[in-house]
Amino acid sequence: MKTTRRNFLQFGLFLTSDFFLGENKVFASQEKLEQKLKINLPDYSLNLMNFVDGKLKETFSFPVGIGKGYDGRKQTPIGTGFIDEKRKTVVFRYGKDNPELNIHKGDIIKWTNTYDDDDNPTGYKMPYSQMRGLGMQIRTNFSNYYYNDFVIHSTTDEFTIGTPASGGCLRVGIKEMLRLYDLVSPETKQGTLENPIPIKTSYDLVELNNEKVKLHANIYNKKIDPVQELKKKITNKFNPEDFDFNKIQQEFTSANEQFIIAHKQILTLLSKSFPNNFVPSSLKEKLHKTYDISSFLRG
Confidence label for 25 from pLDDT (cuts 50, 70 and 90): very low
> Looking at the structure, do residues 198 and 221 belong to the same domain, yes or no?
no
> Looking at the structure, do residues 211 and 195 belong to the same domain, yes or no?
no
> Looking at the structure, do residues 80 and 138 belong to the same domain, yes or no?
yes
Question: The domain containing residue 198 runs over which residues?
Answer: 5-202
Confidence label for 71 from pLDDT (cuts 50, 70 and 90): confident
- Flag whether pLDDT at 110 surpasses 50: yes
- Flag whether pLDDT at 13 surpasses 60: no
The count of structural domains within the chain is 2
Confidence label for 299 from pLDDT (cuts 50, 70 and 90): confident
- Flag whether pLDDT at 33 surpasses 60: yes
pLDDT of 30 reads 55
| Per-residue pLDDT reduced to its tens digit, 163-189 | 999 999 999 999 999 999 999 999 999
**Domain end residue (candidates: 202, 236, 263):** 202
> Looking at the structure, do residues 196 and 211 belong to the same domain, yes or no?
no
Q: Which residues pair with 153 in a beta bridge?
A: 133, 171
Confidence label for 32 from pLDDT (cuts 50, 70 and 90): confident
How many whole angstroms separate alpha carbon 12 and alpha carbon 21? 35
Residue-by-residue DSSP string for 101-169: GTB-TTPBP-EEEEE-TTS-EEEEE--GGG--EEEEEEEETT-SPEE-S-EEEEES-GGGTTSEEESSP
> Looking at the structure, do residues 192 and 210 belong to the same domain, yes or no?
no
| Per-residue pLDDT reduced to its tens digit, 121-130 | 999 999 999 9
> Looking at the structure, do residues 165 and 213 belong to the same domain, yes or no?
no
- Flag whether pLDDT at 88 surpasses 90: yes
Helix and strand numbers (H, E) in the chain are 5, 18
CATH of the domain at 95: 2.40.440.10
> Looking at the structure, do residues 73 and 100 belong to the same domain, yes or no?
yes
Cβ-based neighbours of 293, under 8 Å, separated by 6 or more? 208, 211, 212, 213, 234, 238
| Per-residue pLDDT reduced to its tens digit, 216-236 | 999 999 999 999 999 999 998
Confidence label for 73 from pLDDT (cuts 50, 70 and 90): confident
